[in-house]
Amino acid sequence: MKTSLTVILVALLFSCNPSVEKKMENETSAPVQIIDVNYNPEARLKELGIELKTPGTPVANYVHAVRSGTLLFLAGKGPKKADGKNIVGKLGADLTIEEGFEAARLAGINQIAVLKSELGNLNKVKRIVKVNGMVNAIPEFTDQSKVINGYSDLMVAVFGERGKHARAAVGMGSLPGNMAVEVEMIVELYE
């Protein structure tokens, strides 16, 4: 009898008190983010034997990344090696597709280093949204997509399905410092 009376009193309380109802409505209407416990890009980097370096200071009047809402826009990065020098040359003249692929992969590692520096934790990456890949190439070179696959394949290897993205892979007559590739990207973040 006590249990039945308690249930009736609680029901009356909720039906007569609109602020309690409104509060419950607000609590239940908020989106719930479920984070996959198996999602760990930093562990994947270790498995792949990739060590991230601290990004240097931009060399001109720009920043590494700009956040707008849940999107992070990353400035273009090139294939800078550990010695501070870029992989340079034109695809189709100085570099093979395989060398270009490795240059694009290295640009991807440099972008992930920027992400880590900006976010502190790569688990905050919800999705790689868009990649713009620029390939320094002779006019006759038409395998830009095969080169930028080095970048795209790395994003999927590190972020799994979240690493799949929309993409452009285009040829350029030249790039700063004659670097082989430059890649920029847009990333969606968890709020």
CATH of residue 88 = 3.30.1330.40
In this structure, which amino acid lies at residue 112? I
pLDDT attached to residue 2: 52
Instruction: Determine, yes or no, domain membership for 20.
Output: yes
pLDDT attached to residue 126: 97
Instruction: Determine, yes or no, domain membership for 36.
Output: no
Give the residue-averaged pLDDT of 35-39.
76
pLDDT-based confidence at residue 116 (cuts at 50, 70, 90): very high
pLDDT attached to residue 18: 46
Q: How far apart are CA 108 and CA 89, in angstroms?
A: 18
Q: How far apart are CA 168 and CA 152, in angstroms?
A: 11
pLDDT attached to residue 191: 83
By percentage, how much of the chain surpasses pLDDT 70? Answer: 82
pLDDT attached to residue 184: 98
Q: How far apart are CA 30 and CA 52, in angstroms?
A: 36
Instruction: Print the domain residue range for 19.
Output: 1-30
pLDDT-based confidence at residue 30 (cuts at 50, 70, 90): very low
Between these two residues, 152 and 32, which has the higher pLDDT value? 152
Q: Give 128's Cβ-side CA count (13 Å radius).
A: 28
pLDDT attached to residue 174: 97
**Range with lowest mean pLDDT among 5-19, 78-92, 110-124, 130-144:** 5-19
Domain count, the chain: 2
- Mean residue pLDDT of the chain comes to 87
Instruction: Determine, yes or no, domain membership for 104.
Output: yes
Give the residue-averaged pLDDT of 75-81.
96
pLDDT attached to residue 100: 98
Give the residue-averaged pLDDT of 84-113.
97
Q: How far apart are CA 70 and CA 75, in angstroms?
A: 16
pLDDT-based confidence at residue 13 (cuts at 50, 70, 90): very low
Instruction: Determine, yes or no, domain membership for 165.
Output: yes
pLDDT attached to residue 59: 83
Q: Give 175's Cβ-side CA count (13 Å radius).
A: 25
Label residue 33 left, alpha or beta by phi (over 0 means left) and psi (-120 to 50 means alpha): beta
Q: How far apart are CA 160 and CA 46, in angstroms?
A: 15
Task: Indicate if 130 and 173 belong to the same structural domain.
Answer: yes
Task: Indicate if 101 and 176 belong to the same structural domain.
Answer: yes
